[in-house]
Structure 1
């Protein structure tokens, strides 16, 4: 397989445009090599989430296995620690499995027989273990920055793991999501942050600062300054995420 691109077999019985949409080249311009290598598979999840089982490519599971192995080899060549690569693969497999089962891919493909997590790690479900892994990684954020940013991308694309089925635990997930964001922001500083566009339904209220007026003018002034600073920060963050989304959308055309 060519290291410059990862693709699945073309659609059967569909027009040429549909086939072109499915072939995703590596971007090669991410600040995070791990996200860069995984972009084709992340794009595949986004592309196939809009399709039904009748339009699924044949042998999808086998090709995704091949692509995961190719990404793993790329990361080995880039010098990542073996444990980091295994953790990356575990998170990636769990994310794709969740998308596959949630969108009914298993109706026509090998996912109904086994999952990526079973194939690579001999485990049936990793929705809880991913968050246990996160707690270990976040203890050394600088060392595992690329992996933590990759997990952030998976969260931004809808991965919830053990929090997907428990609606009452969404508040706990939001705390984890926000905590990870702040840890990564401290590492990145003013450097561009590798984010994808968040859900429009939750994006507006996720990081809003609530102003509380008091009788003390100095406190009121402080709130105004903080609000202005936060607004500037949100606008800057949104601009960066829109750029990433625009690049990814180009791949899906």
Structure 2
């Protein structure tokens, strides 16, 4: 975009996104409320002497308007990020006071009055637009009575911002300072009439980019080097190995490792002596005597218990189905011969033995203590079917006996075990011995 008037921020926005000032009949002059004297280029305008107490940040600035408007521009950036404000009216009054301060500082450092008025209008309009775009700003007094209306009632609405921009772009060299301030306002979020347009964001970005290119041409090419003295010494890199002989480096490393070893060895030796001394203090003065506590013997089945149970099981004992024995572990053992109790490879109790098991339960019912059902078998267990191992077969048979005993003894007293062929009474060499090894022991452990 050249400075020949082909730029239209407010008057002529064409469909293709190209801005033109042709609809206004050529470059337009500044409005009466902003024009206060002959147009003079920024370089040719007289500069007033800044007072001695003027802030140092304004002296020697490339753009005095931007320097004086710095606090207001910073405030616009922070207002965009706020989701709410507890006192919008108080904030509005503070900003009005800051606008007055801006006018005074700009005038004090020599900014012409017409530039101050243009800048003041741009800043107030930009702040009004930013605040009204927030949820809290749209509901307060600010939405009805903005800063621009209070500061200069005859300045016009937000659309005047783009009219002024279009007018100043007709002669950008004359209005360079104001154009840079307008660019800052656009960069900080001022949208104005573009906010509600379908392609408003795209057109506004195009306008801002065109303005940036105009200002770049006015300012000239920027210095691209980060530092005027960024180049280093033009010497080739020489590794340390080219300066020091290899043997000297080896001696230095060996000396360092030797010193480190001696230091760590001395430190470890000192700590080891202290640990040995503490361990020696823990040793007793005389040999320790180990006294092993002998647990009390478990309750055993006395003769009276055996007499009572034997008396109750006399019919079964005479038939040879049951025998009452004293176990090695203090238990009373009621042995049920298993040769005729189960079919080969089966855990189903035959009908005759169901009555025998029930009689055993009735005999043990009055006696206190836990009852363990232990089943045994011989070495002829069939390897097929659902119970392929002696342990699985005897476990299932013990559970079958336990289920019948539960009727009289209760499940909480009973435990079932299957010991397979591990504890034979006699060698499994004859049918009689194998029949004796197939048995079920009901063991009562008295309390």
The alpha-carbon deviation at position 35 of structure 1 amounts to 1.1
Please list the CA deviations of residues 59-110 of structure 1 after superposition, one character each: whole Å capped at 9, or x if unmatched: 1111111100110111112222222111111111110001111113436864
Structural mapping, 1:1-253, within 5 Å: 4=55, 30-56=61-87, 59-106=90-137, 110-122=141-153, 126-191=157-222
**Aligned-residue CA RMSD (Å):** 3.0
Equivalent pair of 1:97/1:117 in contact (CA under 8 Å):
yes
Equivalent pair of 2:158/2:192 in contact (CA under 8 Å):
yes
Distance 1:169 1:51, change over 3 A: closer
- The number of residues matched between the two structures is 174
Task: Identify the structure with the greater strand proportion.
Answer: 2
SS at match of 2:62: coil
TM normalised by structure 2 equals 0.35
Q: CA separation in 2, counterparts of 1:105 and 1:190?
A: 43
TM normalised by structure 1 equals 0.60
Q: CA separation in 2, counterparts of 1:83 and 1:27?
A: 19
Which of these two proteins has the greater Rg computed from alpha carbons? 2
Distance 1:171 1:36, change over 3 A: same
Task: Identify the structure with the greater helix proportion.
Answer: 1
Please identify runs of 4+ aligned residues in structure 1 that moved more than 4 A.
Answer: 2-5, 26-30, 54-58, 107-110
Distance 1:183 1:124, change over 3 A: closer
Structure 2: which 5+ residue stretches go unaligned?
1-52, 227-447
Structure 1: which 5+ residue stretches go unaligned?
6-25, 193-235, 240-253
SS at match of 1:167: coil
Answer 1 or 2: higher relative contact order, Cα 8 Å, separation at least 6. Answer: 1
Equivalent position of 2:362 in the other structure: none
The alpha-carbon deviation at position 126 of structure 1 amounts to 2.7
Q: CA separation in 2, counterparts of 1:57 and 1:185?
A: 38
